[in-house]
Amino acid sequence: MKIIRSQGPAPAGELAGLRARLAVAEETLRAIRSGEVDVVLVTVGKGVQLFTLDGAEQSYRVLIESMNEGALMLAADKTILYANQCFARMVKCPLEQVIGSSFRRFISTKDRTTLQLLRQRIAASGTKIQLLLQVSDGTQMPGHLSIRPLAQSDCKSATFVVVVTDMTETRRSEERLRTLTNRVVQAQEAERGHLAHELHDTVTQMLCAVLVRSHTLVDKLPARNEPAKQEARDLHEIIRGTVEEVERISRNLRPSVLDQLGLIAGLHDTSTEFANRTGVTVKMVCVQLAMRLPADTELALFRILQETLHNVEKHARARHVTVQLTKPGDFVQLTINDDGIGFDPDHHPVRRKGRGGFGLLGMRERAAYVGGVLKVKSTRRAGTEIEIRIPLPPSGKVPDGVGRKKLAKSSQRKGSAS
């Protein structure tokens, strides 16, 4: 964009000044005729006047109309002052009916309050939000709005520029990815169950037979051959430890206590095993639910606790962990706190230098699969809190206060969970 600045009157009698003014005027006329000029600034006395030429906005209009996103200009009362054709196609409404109407018309009822509160907090740098757009045919379209104030000197008269992106395909891709992830998780659970069964029914049985034979060997060795007898005792203890470790792996792969006794027993069992093995004190407080939760919900909460305790063991350097199962309203909520070193959730890498798994991502996907939400609150050197909230099924509503009891209190000694 060219901006031509012309000077004011030159002193009379100065031929050079007149020639300079004539050259500037000729250049200005040439630039205007060729369409190179959008704005002319003229110096008059101590002030400057600005003249916008007809057609100066044409290139910008072409750019806005060629966008694949909707573009809007809103008044402070949400009246649409300008909209491009792309937005009109998004909401399936003629452009002449879009311009001049209220933007609230195209926002879903449940998102109108959110947009109102957001508008009051829009900073000069703008803000972004995802909501549902109300289409004229009665359907709803997921949209991503980028909102920026055009003039902020007076909030009541400010106008806002809004860029609207259609998130329909993105949401479909996310749903397909979530479906694929759920299938992978189900396949993993099936394989874990099969492997746990093989370990328990085959490997454990064989190791138990070896354990019995090693005990018999200790008894048969003569007392005078003490070195050999001690070696047999050591071998017996190694085999015993191997049997216990295989049993532990088998229980973690597919916990029978979860299937047979329910969620609370499963949470208590894995917390106790973690405390005894790592020496980290675990305090567990749960409400007693009146009935069993759906199997997928119980498994999701159990696996999330397992993964969280695994992260505590590997990364947190914590000494105390608290596990709480509560029922706020028509939800079941699992909250896990530790007093470890914490981390920054906004800059936490999904995978560290190629090692480890997709811990937080996997936990979020497990919660989302059963309709829940997982939140992470953490600060460096101030511990971490993992909160999972899952809606209860309509048929499984539990009255508040029913069967509430503490299954465990803070352990009296380090390394135990009671």
pLDDT in tens, 295-351: 889 999 999 999 999 999 988 899 999 999 999 988 999 999 999 998 877 665 544
**Do both 382 and 319 map to the same domain?**
yes
Instruction: Give the C-alpha separation, 51 to 42, whole Å.
Output: 8
**Do both 355 and 214 map to the same domain?**
no
- Residue 302: give the domain boundaries: 261-418
Check: pTM over 0.95? Answer yes or no.
no
**Do both 273 and 412 map to the same domain?**
yes
**Do both 235 and 363 map to the same domain?**
no
**Do both 353 and 406 map to the same domain?**
yes
171-205: per-residue pLDDT in tens?
Answer: 888 888 888 877 888 888 888 888 888 888 888 88
Give exposure, 185-214, as e/b (b: 16+ Cβ within 10 Å).
beeeeeeeeeebeebbeebbeebeeebeeb
Q: What is the CATH number of the domain that holds 389?
A: 3.30.565.10
Instruction: Give the C-alpha separation, 340 to 346, whole Å.
Output: 18
**Do both 397 and 270 map to the same domain?**
yes
Answer with the one of 166, 193, 223 that is the final residue of a domain.
166
pLDDT along the chain (418 residues), means of 10: 49 68 74 60 57 58 80 87 91 91 89 73 72 91 88 58 91 85 82 84 88 88 87 91 87 81 91 92 90 90 93 91 93 94 71 50 87 90 92 62 36 39
CB 320 within 8 A of CB 338: yes
The residue behind tokens 């018309």 is 105
Tokens of 9: 């009157």
**Do both 181 and 160 map to the same domain?**
no
Give exposure, 91-126, as e/b (b: 16+ Cβ within 10 Å).
bebeeeebbeeebeebbbeebeeebeebbeebeeee
Q: ∠ CA(181), CA(187), CA(188), 5° rounding?
A: 90
86-103: per-residue pLDDT in tens?
Answer: 999 999 999 989 998 999
**Do both 47 and 78 map to the same domain?**
no
Contacts 24+ apart (CB under 8 A), 1-4: 1/38, 1/39, 2/31, 2/36, 2/37, 2/38, 3/37, 3/38, 3/39, 3/40, 3/41, 4/28, 4/31, 4/37, 4/40, 4/41
* pLDDT confidence of residue 54: 57
Q: Which of 310, 186, 307, 195 is nearest to 250 (CA)?
A: 195
* pLDDT confidence of residue 205: 87
Instruction: Give the C-alpha separation, 238 to 400, whole Å.
Output: 50
Q: Supply the DSSP string of 299-331, one letter for each residue.
A: HHHHHHHHHHHHHIIIII--SEEEEEEE--TTE
CB 163 within 8 A of CB 213: no
Task: For the chain, give the longest Cα–Cα distance.
Answer: 133
**Do both 118 and 73 map to the same domain?**
yes
CB 280 within 8 A of CB 264: no
Instruction: Give the C-alpha separation, 387 to 359, whole Å.
Output: 14
Structural domains in the chain (count): 4
Give exposure, 300-329, as e/b (b: 16+ Cβ within 10 Å).
bbbbbbbbbbebbeebbebebbbbebebee
**Do both 75 and 17 map to the same domain?**
no
Torsion of CA 402, 405, 407, 411, to 10 degrees: 160
**Do both 348 and 411 map to the same domain?**
yes
Answer with the one of 166, 192, 211 that is the final residue of a domain.
166
Q: How far is CA 167 from the centre of its chain?
A: 17
**Do both 152 and 294 map to the same domain?**
no
User: Strands, E, within 11-153: which ranges?
Assistant: 37-44, 47-52, 70-74, 80-83, 127-134, 140-149
Instruction: Give the C-alpha separation, 43 to 49, whole Å.
Output: 6
Q: What is the CATH number of the domain that holds 103?
A: 3.30.450.20
The residue behind tokens 């706190």 is 337
Instruction: Give the C-alpha separation, 206 to 185, whole Å.
Output: 30
Q: Is 358 helix (H, G, I), strand (E, B) or coil?
A: coil
CB 132 within 8 A of CB 145: no
Sign of CA dihedral 105, 107, 109, 111: negative
Q: How far is CA 75 from the centre of its chain?
A: 33
Answer with the one of 135, 166, 197 that is the final residue of a domain.
166
Instruction: Please name the residue ranges forming H helices in 143-225.
Output: 168-198, 204-220
How far, CA to CA in Å, does 273 sit from each of 119, 247, 408? 51, 12, 14
Report DSSP state, residue 392.
P
* pLDDT confidence of residue 285: 93
Q: Supply the DSSP string of 117-159, one letter for each residue.
A: HHHTT--TT-EEEEEEEE-TTS-EEEEEEEEEES--S-TTT--
